[in-house]
Homo-oligomer: A and B are copies of this chain.
Amino acid sequence: MKITAAGGYDAVGRNMTGVTINNETVAIDNGIRLDAFQMYDGETHMLQKYKKKDLIDMRVIPDYDSLRNVRAQVISHGHLDHVGALGVVQPSVPIISTHYTAEIGRKEYNRGNYYSCDYNEFFKVSPDFEVEFVEVTHSIPKSSIVILKTSEGTVVYACDFKFDDYSEIARTDYEKLKKIGREGVYALIVESTRVKERGRTPGERVVREKFREIIEFIDKGLVIATTFSTHIERIRMIMDLVEKTGKIPVVIGRSLSKHTGIAEQFGILDLSPNARVYGSGKAIKNMLKIINKMNKNERSDYFLLVTGSQGEPQSVLPRMVNKEFSFNFQRNDSVIFCAATIPVPINKTNRYILESKLESQGARIFKDVHVSGHASREDHRKLLNLLSPEHIIPCHGDMVMKGSYVGLAAEEGYELNKNVHLINNGLSVEI
């Protein structure tokens, strides 16, 4: 069995791993590295303007062509760094995922043979490969740990996941994982993004408490929150707590509109009847103009959920501070960041610019209403103990992150180069 690092093994983003047996390969994930793209194009999300080869050189997409004889493209979940390159690299082979993830793919990258299954169903790729998805909690609905049953043993791909046992929209199927572990796992390919963080990753209930305290605290002005568009559980929680304040919730932004729409379609989100959603440029403009004309009292009856948590120039909140709408912030307006800043230089600076402008325009800022979607060290140890794999390949991280996983594995009895393997983008390991 050969495991190939097509992307995601040098830095966080643009994930793709190949699993090859008997000269047939299954590719898992096909994502982009957005911050690498933003180095070249800070203003748009238009990957289509660039050639595939250039995007690989720019380190934006994985090198699909480094994989030989691909028979299936599996997608673990619907985040951009796992699915976002489907618009550029269109595999002609079946694209296999859960139904929800497939819907994201279809909506955004319409060409492609999407096949989808429920958790615990099988998809037979070839005599050598069978795919199954196991439910796991993460920061987007219907995430999965991918199980690849192969003629040379079971490969488990756990990238990305966290363990949140109080999630309101998902659960981790520990029983299934334990069963798979008992039956024998040959290789575990596992994200390493936060394995250097001690302890466990807190659950969404912590965010709920923090958001509740803030929304109850603010006593005047327009309240604006921003979060990741794909984070439906958090959006649910926000809308639920806002509902209790009696404010009218307005969802603004193309991406938020799309993802809340899919979540409603799947019955995971149920926006209240008085909620409004604006996704088109024109509708957004109009709505912000209307709010801008309101008097103080009317204004403070509204709550906006907008895109722009990372300060991306083309999203709603940055465009609001840049005066691209007929909208002015007022003293006592509040902005709640229900998202951490993804810790890369581009995002840190975009957020710095956004926050600086918000403050200079009089807004009050509430930050860090957030918990990570990635497993911490002890969560990883738990997965390791559930699965007891023969081999481990840490992925989705730089050398520090992957090296930290090697350290954890060593604590559990694994040995570097013997049964835990470090590979970089473009390299393979035969096990």
Contact = CB atoms under 8 A, between A and B. Distances in A.
Interface of A: 39-40, 42, 57-59, 163, 165-166, 198-200, 202-203, 205-206, 209-210, 213-214, 216-217, 322, 336, 345-346, 348-349, 352-353, 355-357, 360, 364-368, 378, 381-382, 398-400, 403-404, 406-407, 410, 415-417, 421-424, 427, 429
A416 B427 contact: yes
Q: A-B pairs with the 3 shortest C-beta distances?
A: A399-B403, A199-B366, A349-B349
B423 A416 contact: yes
Contacts of A58: 360
**Residue among A209, A403, A422 with most chain B CB within 10 A:** A209
Contacts of A214: 199-200
Contacts of A353: 39, 345-346
B415 A367 contact: no
Contacts of A352: 345
B209 A213 contact: no
18 contacts: A39-B353, A39-B356, A42-B42, A57-B360, A58-B360, A199-B336, A199-B365, A203-B209, A206-B206, A209-B209, A217-B382, A349-B349, A366-B378, A398-B403, A400-B400, A400-B403, A403-B403, A417-B427
Contacts of A415: 427
Contacts of A410: 424
Given A217-B378, A348-B349, A417-B422, 11 more contacts: A39-B353, A57-B360, A165-B217, A198-B355, A198-B366, A199-B336, A202-B213, A345-B353, A410-B424, A416-B427, A417-B421
A424 B399 contact: no
Nearest to A378: B364
A316 to B, nearest CB: 18
Contacts of A206: 206, 209-210
A319 to B, nearest CB: 13
Given A198-B367, A353-B39, A417 B406 contact: no
Contacts of A398: 403
Given A206-B206, A364-B381, A368-B199, A416 B406 contact: no
A203 B349 CA distance: 29
Contact of A202 (B210, B346, B364, B429): B210
A131 B427 CA distance: 36
Nearest to A362: B411
Contacts of A336: 199
A275 B360 CA distance: 47
A39 B321 CA distance: 11
Contact of A422 (B217, B368, B378, B422): B422
B403 A59 contact: no
Contacts of A400: 399-400, 403
Given A206-B210, A360-B59, A429 B417 contact: yes
Nearest to A38: B353
Contact of A200 (B199, B366, B381): B366
Nearest to A399: B403
Given A345-B348, A415-B427, A422-B416, A367 B199 contact: yes
A215 to B, nearest CB: 11
Contacts of A406: 399, 424
A355 B417 CA distance: 28
**Residue among A202, A203, A214, A355 with most chain B CB within 10 A:** A202
Contact of A216 (B39, B165, B368): B165
Contact of A365 (B40, B198, B365): B198
A431 B310 CA distance: 45
